[in-house]
Amino acid sequence: MNMKVVFAALLSMFAVAGAMAQDCTFFFPQSEGTVLVRKGYDAKGNLQTIMTYKVDEVETIPSGQQVEADYVFTNAAGTVINKGDIEAYCQNGEFFMDMKQSLSYPGVVSEMNTDVDITDNFVNYPNTFTPDFNSDNVYMDDASVKIYDKKNRKNRRDISIYDREYMTNETITTPAGTFECAKVKYKMDTRSPKSKEKITGYGYEWYAPNVGLVRTEQYNDNNALQSYTVLEEIK
């Protein structure tokens, strides 16, 4: 094959990859050193959990961009329940975020106020802010994660998040600022092998470009608010 043709083909491939990377809207901070603080509350507004993230690595990959942030998850008293890293990335024009975010939902670890860990899983977050966005063409991933006591894996919460659907775009104000957000509804089941109890309900997420989750709310099947999280600080 003519070398000029090969070279032109390679340039075309790199151009396509670059275009995909640029077209992807990132729903997480992309600047190293950025710190976010999300706090979780019960239905009465009592502080339950605190999750602090710090972006420590930003990398451009052929299919888009990847960000890694260290996080520390504590209870209201400041006791560390879990710490590690969370990932977010763009791949071929679509954004994905680590489901370790679900750790910050109050109630998820209410029976496990101890050192826990969580299995990895990623779900997509569509860009609803483009002029040609069509909600009929959106597919949103389901997710299944396990949160378990490091010292006793039988003390575990199995969480299923499914039937995720885009609702609308809304303006949300928190102590961290005012954000234009996409609102997503989802159904959620949690099981505890220890108590053999299954809890069903639903929730909402509001997420903003270059920020991520700004607010979440969790409800039971009787439409009663159970808990919520708020982005309190970004710096």
52-90 as b/e: b if 16+ CB within 10 A: bbbbeebeeeebbbbbbbebebebeeeeebbeeebbbbb
Q: Which CATH topology does 28-234 take? A: YmcC-like fold (2.40.360)
Whether 8 shows a pLDDT value over 60: the answer reads no
- Provide the token pair at 104: 């910050």
Please tell me the predicted confidence (pLDDT) of residue 93.
82
How large is the average pLDDT for residues 54-83?
89
* Least confident range of 35-49, 79-93, 198-212: 79-93
For 174-210, write each residue's pLDDT tens digit.
999 999 999 999 998 888 776 677 788 999 999 999 9
C-alpha span between 27 and 182 (Å, rounded): 10
Residue with tokens 């609803």: 128
Taking only Cα atoms into account, the Rg of the chain, rounded to an integer number of angstroms, comes to 19
Q: What is the pTM of this model?
A: 0.82
Please tell me the predicted confidence (pLDDT) of residue 84.
87
